[in-house]
């Protein structure tokens, strides 16, 4: 059974300029990156190609433009990158993930987070498939 990682940075509003909800196959997770003391980036592989990421996505005010790979920015408790990465990795490989393939990592709309040190889903940037 394929495992999926769910992210929501807010309630869907019907606009195409931002992605508020996204779900990625867990096996497409490429890597984690500490961006700041309170921001963790999660990158996924993609078969789409785009131009380089522009702007600062971490505070939610930047613009993604067209990107090469999907990237999620999570706000986390300061310095707790390892704990959050362990929680996500553990959820992807845990026994319960075999019976429940949808893993909610960050759901702003319902205030649900995989780990107590995840405080928000700051942004979701996906590859423009057009």
Q: Poorest-confidence range of 8-12, 37-41, 112-116, 118-122? A: 8-12
Write down the pTM of the prediction: 0.79
On whether residue 73 sits in a domain, the answer given is yes
Of residues 71, 112, 108, 111, the one with CA closest to residue 91: 112
On whether residue 71 sits in a domain, the answer given is yes
Of residues 54, 53, 18, 47, the one with CA closest to residue 129: 47
The structural domain count of the chain equals 1
Q: Taking 90 as the threshold, does the pLDDT of residue 130 lie above it?
A: no
On whether residue 130 sits in a domain, the answer given is no
On whether residue 21 sits in a domain, the answer given is yes
> What is the C-alpha separation between 89 and 99, in angstroms, rounded?
17
pLDDT of res. 127? 73
What average pLDDT does the structure give for the chain? 82
Q: Angle at Cα 54 formed by Cα 51 and Cα 60, nearest 5°?
A: 135
pLDDT of res. 115? 97
| pLDDT tier, 80 (very low <50, low <70, confident <90, very high otherwise) | very high
Q: Give residue-wise pLDDT tens across range 85-105.
A: 999 999 998 866 567 789 999
pLDDT of res. 50? 47
On whether residue 31 sits in a domain, the answer given is yes
Q: Taking 70 as the threshold, does the pLDDT of residue 129 lie above it?
A: no
On whether residue 42 sits in a domain, the answer given is yes
Residue ranges making up the domain that contains 38: 4-125
**SS3 string of the chain?**
CCCEEEEECCCCCCCCCCCCEEEEEHHHEEEEEEEECCEEEEEECCCCCCCCCCCCCCCCCCCCCCCCCCEEEEEECCCCHHHHHHHHHHHHHCHHHHCCCEEEEEECCCCEECCCCEEEEEEEECCCCC
């Amino acid at each position: 059974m394929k495992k999926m990682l769910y992210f929501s940075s807010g309630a869907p509003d019907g606009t195409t300029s931002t992605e508020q909800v996204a779900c990625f196959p867990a096996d497409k997770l490429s890597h984690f990156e500490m961006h700041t003391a309170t921001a963790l980036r999660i990158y996924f592989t993609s078969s789409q190609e785009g131009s380089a990421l522009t702007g600062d996505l971490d505070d939610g005010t930047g613009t993604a433009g067209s990107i090469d790979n999907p990237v999620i920015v999570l706000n986390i408790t300061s310095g707790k990158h390892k704990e959050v990465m362990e929680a996500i990795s553990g959820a992807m490989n845990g026994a319960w993930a075999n019976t429940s393939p949808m893993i909610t990592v960050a759901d702003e709309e319902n205030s649900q987070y995989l780990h107590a040190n995840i405080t928000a889903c700051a942004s979701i940037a996906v590859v423009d498939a057009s």
